[in-house]
Structure 1
Amino acid sequence: MREGHEQNKREFEDYAYVLDFLEYGYPEDTRPLHQKKPIAQAFGEKQFVMMELTFKDNQVADLAEKLYIGKGKREKVEFVSKMLKYDQLTPTAKTELLHVIKEAVKAQEERFVEFLNNCGPITNRMHTLQLLPGIGKTSMWKVIEEREIKKFESFKDFEDRVRKNIVDPLSKRIEEELKEPQKHYVLVKWKTTH
């Protein structure tokens, strides 16, 4: 296999959180009821991909429910229908998105603590940390000083030493990167290729 091909290999989601469940499909779908399948708009746990899921017959899901969508045997989901953009989400899904992002961030604490420990400057005048809502120059320097003394071990360790909640800024930045075009994508990596 070629080297370049390895780097472009797409990672697939194994789990997704339900943003909205539509038992009879979209209201604007004009097909007869017996032809419609239940669908959900969902948010991928690792890649942060928004997607539409088609469910098996007689299966339902709750908002924010974590579902297996990987390559193995799926309990509720028949298949991933398509990827979605933010403006294709239902009003309920848009409302639920930030809450679900927070759950995904908490579930991947180790990944984000590593990000906080290793992120660097984007330009001579801007640091990656400054892209997180609520992190200005003062907070940025506090984070840099603290991580030079000792790397952060957890969100709690970060919050104790920096005196700032970090789950909310990380979650809000992910939401911003999903909502509209950004100059710098630091947390939603797949957006850089789309």
Structure 2
Amino acid sequence: MSDATDDESTLRHAVVLDHLPHGLPGDDRPQYETPSAAYAIGERDFYLYELLFEDEADVSIGDRIVVSPAEERRSIQQLRTVEYEDLSSGATSELDYVVEEIVEANESRFVDFYNDAQPITLRLHQLNLLPGIGKKLRNTILDERKRKPFESFEEVEERVSGLHDPKGVIVERIIEELREDDLKYRRFVGSGD
């Protein structure tokens, strides 16, 4: 899982959270007729996907697969977006780890959130959407980024006293956006940044 290269800039990838070789639960067809299935999460937009595969598909948990554009997909019969509640228990147990890996692999994109976050309203800032970031930490982040943009999570942690896990805070917010369908503000899920 790494940032897209120039050749892959138009491709959208997802990471497999769970593979169901005998198909989806509740599929009443005989086992030999059910396609293997998987749940996956998009690397850019964090959409959750349910995938059905062609017979010859070789898929494992953690695999990085192309989900868009459709003509670039390999062995995928059907793809649809799903909600957190639709995931298998195996997929939900992998979710935190995979989101953390995506954030780590795309560190500059998420560090830029600390550099670029803007006010939402007069009283609410995008930085305040992150768990544990109140007025004091927000103002420290804003002051520090005026001096010089952050270049890594480590630098955010060093320069912002009181923010001990800037990567973990982003991961926690992404998971919250995935689980809670009634959040008023979303910054990561569905954004495709």
* TM-score, length basis structure 2: 0.82
Q: Does 1:157 align with 2:158?
A: no
Aligned residues, how many? Answer: 180
For the 8 Å contact 2:22–2:34, the answer to whether it is kept is yes
CA distance in structure 1 between the partners assigned to 2:88 and 2:15 by the alignment = 15
Q: Which residue of 1 aligns with 2:4?
A: none
Q: Which residue of 1 aligns with 2:183?
A: 182
Letter in 2 for 1:128: Q
Structure 1 residue ranges without an equivalent (≥5): 1-11
Q: Deviations over 1:143-182 (max 9, x none)?
A: 1121111011122221222252211111111111121211
User: What pairs with 1:34-183 in structure 2 (closer than 5 Å)?
Assistant: 34-71=32-69, 73-75=72-74, 77-162=75-160, 163-180=163-180, 181-183=182-184
**Partner secondary structure for residue 69 of structure 1:** strand
For the 8 Å contact 1:55–1:79, the answer to whether it is kept is yes
Letter in 1 for 2:60: D
**Partner secondary structure for residue 118 of structure 2:** coil
CA distance in structure 2 between the partners assigned to 1:13 and 1:64 by the alignment = 18
Q: Which has the higher contact order (CA 8 A, sep 6+)?
A: 2
How many angstroms does 1:106 deviate by?
1.8
Q: Which residue of 2 aligns with 1:17?
A: 15
Structure 2 residue ranges without an equivalent (≥5): 1-9
Question: RMSD over aligned Cα, in angstroms?
Answer: 2.3
Instruction: Provide the identity percentage.
Output: 37
For the 8 Å contact 2:47–2:190, the answer to whether it is kept is no
Q: Which residue of 2 aligns with 1:7?
A: none
**Partner secondary structure for residue 185 of structure 1:** coil
**Are the structure 2 counterparts of residues 144 and 80 from structure 1 closer, same or farther at C-alpha, using a change threshold of 3 Å?**
farther
CA distance in structure 1 between the partners assigned to 2:80 and 2:90 by the alignment = 18
**Partner secondary structure for residue 40 of structure 1:** strand
CA distance in structure 2 between the partners assigned to 1:139 and 1:157 by the alignment = 15
Q: Which residue of 2 aligns with 1:6?
A: none
**Are the structure 2 counterparts of residues 189 and 40 from structure 1 closer, same or farther at C-alpha, using a change threshold of 3 Å?**
closer
Q: Deviations over 1:19-38 (max 9, x none)?
A: 11100112321101111111
Moved over 6 A (4+): none
For the 8 Å contact 1:17–1:67, the answer to whether it is kept is yes
For the 8 Å contact 1:51–1:80, the answer to whether it is kept is no
For the 8 Å contact 1:21–1:38, the answer to whether it is kept is yes
